[in-house]
Amino acid sequence: MTNVQLKSSTSTLYKVSKRIFDIAVSICIIILLSPLFIYVAIRIKKEDNGPVIFKQKRAGLNGEPFYIYKFRSMKIQTSSKKSSKNPYNWRGGVPDDFVFKNTNGFHPDVTKIGQFLRKYSVDEFPQFFNVLKGDMSIVGPRPEILEISDHYNDYQRQRLLVKPGITGWAQINGRSEIPHGQKVEYDLYYVKHQNGILDIKIFIRTIYQAIFGKGAI
């Protein structure tokens, strides 16, 4: 395991052009999909009269926490459960064989509309507002929950060197089915090789995967 050196492609020009791309695409998607957003909000509210948006703290750029937005897909009593205790007690980093969730089958605490939202990653769409705020980018390593990122070793922490994204290199190469070690390798590949062409490639492949419901981001 070696340290990743950021390429010269992470220049001011690249950062500015990526930010412009993020803002332009996010605004277009929010406007174009606003009818879907309204429909989903009505369905979520109608099913159990709970909140439409689920907020959760995630690790952002350089590990700075921020609130990520999602359409709520879990039942109220489940999505509202909170614990101050970190459920993990790893030493020396997150195990390479760790898998955060299993997307096979339906979880009993997922709502009816939530099953659709998760299959096609529609629950992730509110994160375009995170992109507009500047907390996230459209392309980048997926933002980790703090309970996991708090256990990163120095090697794993390198995935926090860039702004987290709605989708990334790891997501188009296996999405949530891959173990943590492989996900980190994919993310660090992106950190090292990020450029505009790679961003567009990831973005296009993500659209394809979302349409066909291949795994969950």
CB 7 within 8 A of CB 164: no
Q: How confident is the model at residue 111 (pLDDT cuts 50, 70, 90)?
A: very high
Question: What per-residue confidence (pLDDT) applies to 217?
Answer: 53
Question: What per-residue confidence (pLDDT) applies to 105?
Answer: 47
Going by C-alpha positions, the residue among 132, 3, 147 that lies closest to residue 65 is 147
CA distance 148 to 122: 24
pLDDT tens sequence across 156-214: 999 999 999 999 999 998 766 789 999 999 999 999 999 999 999 999 999 888 777 56
CA atoms within 13 Å, Cβ hemisphere of 84:
0
C-alpha of 86 from chain center:
20
215 to 64, 115, 119: CA distances (angstroms)? 28, 12, 7
Question: What per-residue confidence (pLDDT) applies to 166?
Answer: 96
Task: Count the neighbouring beta carbons within 10 Å of the beta carbon of residue 172.
Answer: 21
CA distance 106 to 199: 32
pTM of the model: 0.86
CA distance 20 to 116: 31
C-alpha of 7 from chain center:
23
SS3 194: coil
Beta bridge partners of 65: 59
CA distance 153 to 162: 17
Place of tokens 């590949």: 189
Looking at per-residue confidence, does 3 or 74 come out higher?
Answer: 74
Question: Judging by DSSP bridges, how do beta strands 165-167 and 53-59 pair with one another?
Answer: unpaired
Residue 183 corresponds to which tokens in the numbers above? 């996900």
Residue 148 corresponds to which tokens in the numbers above? 């996991």
Buried/exposed 11-41: b ≥16 CB within 10 Å, e otherwise:
eeebeeebeebbeeebeebbeeeeeebeebe
Question: What per-residue confidence (pLDDT) applies to 101?
Answer: 66
Percentage of the chain surpassing pLDDT 70? Answer: 87
C-alpha of 213 from chain center:
16
CA distance 96 to 190: 18
For residue 104, is pLDDT > 60? no
